[in-house]
């Protein structure tokens, strides 16, 4: 795994060794946030599994009214994300916490929770041999759904009133996520496609 400085739109992101390299689709997240955030009132956003910090940095750059909490289980990732926040001059708007999903977040509540968790199945690992990212950023148990389901279940305890969960997944997991949402009282809102036309990010809420 190499270390690299990459330009994503207007952000300078250094990808440290052993940290997931963000893909080129940060603008899908930006479009979703513009859709969900309709006013300039202060709000709290939690990013789970921040990696290089790109998603949190992009939102902190666009909304001066946001308080971002960004977590990761990997200390390498958190260190990398903190440096990138400084590089892009948003470190005062982002608080970084080492956490296994929600484990170290106490009972704080958020208006938006966003995550691009690991969602590939280890059973298909032979198809992903060319990927240079750490396994912990790629693979999840239960056919790739274990971490997504954990986040969906536990998000409910960290929502304010009228909050959203924005979650990235594999193109063929959309139906499973919709079904799981109905079991855990989350309301399915919409799914955004990536530049190749594949379902990629779904949005859920705790209100209709
Ligand atoms: C696919 S990467 C996404 C990184 C970044 N958000 C992005 O989109 O470029 C998944 C991230 O989740 C982190 N992660 C994996 N398991 C985790 C867990 N149990 N708790 C918190 N973070 C975790 C990984 O270290 C990795 O940084």
pLDDT tens digits for range 147-201: 999 999 999 999 999 999 999 999 999 999 999 999 999 999 999 999 999 999 9
Residue (of 110, 71, 80, 73) closest to 12 by Cα position = 80
Residue 66: give the domain boundaries: 4-205
Tell me, using a 6 A CB cutoff, whether residue 29 lines ligand 1: no
Kindly report the pTM of this predicted structure. Answer: 0.97
The tokens describing 177, both together, are 């996520």
Report the C-alpha gap between 192 and 25 in whole angstroms. 11
Query: How far does residue 138's CA lie from ligand 1's centre (Å)?
Result: 8
Q: Is any ligand 1 atom within 6 A of the Cβ of residue 53? A: no
Rounded distance between C-alpha atoms, residue 7 and residue 125, angstroms: 29
- Report whether residue 55 contacts ligand 1, using a CB cutoff of 6 Å: yes
Q: Is the CB of 6 under 6 A from ligand 1?
A: no
Tell whether ligand 1 has an atom less than 6 A from the beta carbon of residue 20: yes
Over residues 38-89, the pLDDT tens digits come to 888 999 999 999 999 999 999 999 999 999 999 999 999 999 999 999 999 9
- For ligand 1, pick from 45, 72, 75, 113 the residue to mutate: most ligand atoms within 8 Å of CB: 72
Q: Count of domains in the chain?
A: 1
How confident is the model at residue 36, as a pLDDT? 96
DSSP-derived 3-state class of residue 124: helix
Residue pair 8/63 in contact by the 8 Å Cβ criterion:
no
* Ligand 1 in reach of 72 Cβ (< 6 A): yes
Quick one: average pLDDT of 8-33? 91
Give the CATH number, domain containing residue 128.
Answer: 3.40.50.150
Q: What 3-state DSSP class applies to 206?
A: coil
């Amino acid at each position: 795994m190499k270390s690299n400085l990459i330009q994503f739109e207007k952000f300078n992101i250094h990808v440290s060794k052993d940290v997931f390299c963000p893909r080129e689709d940060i603008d899908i997240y930006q479009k979703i946030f513009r859709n969900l955030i309709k006013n300039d009132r202060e709000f709290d956003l939690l990013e789970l599994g921040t990696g290089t910090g790109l998603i949190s940095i992009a939102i902190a750059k666009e909304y001066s009214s946001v308080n971002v909490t960004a977590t990761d289980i990997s200390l390498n990732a958190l260190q990398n994300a903190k440096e990138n926040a400084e590089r892009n001059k948003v470190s005062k708007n982002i608080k970084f916490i080492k956490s296994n999903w929600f484990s170290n977040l106490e009972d704080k509540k958020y208006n938006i929770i966003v995550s691009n968790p690991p969602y590939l199945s280890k059973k298909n690992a032979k198809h992903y041999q060319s990927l240079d990212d750490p396994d912990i950023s790629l693979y999840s148990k239960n056919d790739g759904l274990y971490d997504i389901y954990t986040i969906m279940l536990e998000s409910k305890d960290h929502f304010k009133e009228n909050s959203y969960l924005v979650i990235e997944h594999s193109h063929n997991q959309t139906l499973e996520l919709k079904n799981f949402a109905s079991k855990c009282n989350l309301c399915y809102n919409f799914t955004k496609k990536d530049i190749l036309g594949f379902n990629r990010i779904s949005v859920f809420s705790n209100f209709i």
